Amino acid sequence: MEVGLILAAGKGERIKSRYKDIPKPLLSVDGRPILEYNLLLLERAKVKKIFIVVSYKSRQLFENFVRKLPFKDKIEFIIQRKRLGTAHAVKIAESKIGKRSFIYMVGDNFTNFNIEKLIERHKELNADATLALKEVDEPEKYGIAEVEGDWVKRIIEKPKEPPTNLSFTSMAIFEPVIFDAIKNIRKNLKKKEYFITDAIEKLIENGGKVGFLKIDTWRININTPHDLEIAKKYAKKFI
């Protein structure tokens, strides 16, 4: 897989009260920024080019961090000038990614998941998208995938009656057809943003093949100071 895309432009509303001046992906877990762990996952998967979407306000902080990395030359920043959601962040990367398949990740995920397993699964299924899913408690709090056989039939955001407990982990492999799906979704009226889950749902509606792989390790989406403390307990297990 040639290309990785990491989204790192979010505000981090639930954690910024304690860490006002630090973008959430740059918060430290056992001496390393969360983002560094994600970059290492892509480096281990032998990704040749990594794009990171950041806000224009925090670009300098990210650049200062990246220039210390041994693989800094393969990293390029994309500026999201308006925070219009995850699907918008993917959309603005289209001119850089072009017609290539790419790995989708978010910069506040903390996991030891082997990305190469997701790449292999994607190739095996010959899918338009392959999602990393994880079984969760309280699925009504997450974006949940309804599946049948090898395929995702729909994505439901925080369902009152979840059809499964398989949560989308914000890790996926996408073919360029996802860009067409993004062009046909509407802005969420409540959040005023465009969500990648809506684009995945649109892809399915249009006949796209969306597969999945259940991840076999821990994964923490860091939204609160408590999440950050939990992540520190897992840091020694990062291989």
- Per residue in 8-26, pLDDT tens? 987 655 555 555 678 889 9
What is the pLDDT at residue 77?
96
**121-171 residue pLDDT tens:** 999 999 999 999 999 988 998 889 999 999 999 998 888 899 999 999 999
Could you give the 3-state DSSP secondary structure of residue 235? Answer: helix
**How far is the C-alpha of 25 from the C-alpha of 200, rounded, in Å?**
24
Residue 15: its pLDDT value, please? 54
Q: For residues 16 and 10, give the distance between their C-alpha atoms in angstroms, rounded to a whole number.
A: 11
**Distance of alpha carbon 71 from alpha carbon 50, whole angstroms:** 10
**Residue (of 94, 31, 26, 105) closest to 66 by Cα position:** 26
The tokens of 55 are what?
A: 């806000």
Check residue 13 and give its pLDDT: 54
Q: How many domains does the chain have?
A: 1
Domain that holds residue 184: 3-237
Strand partners, 220: 110
Instruction: Give the pairing type, strands 109-111 and 166-174.
Output: unpaired
Those residues of the chain that have pLDDT short of 70 are 11-20, 239
The answer to whether 52 touches 8, Cβ cutoff 8 Å, is yes
Other C-beta atoms lying within 10 Å of the C-beta of residue 2: 12
Give the integer Cα–Cα distance in Å for 67 and 73: 8
The domain that holds 34 is classified in CATH as 3.90.550.10
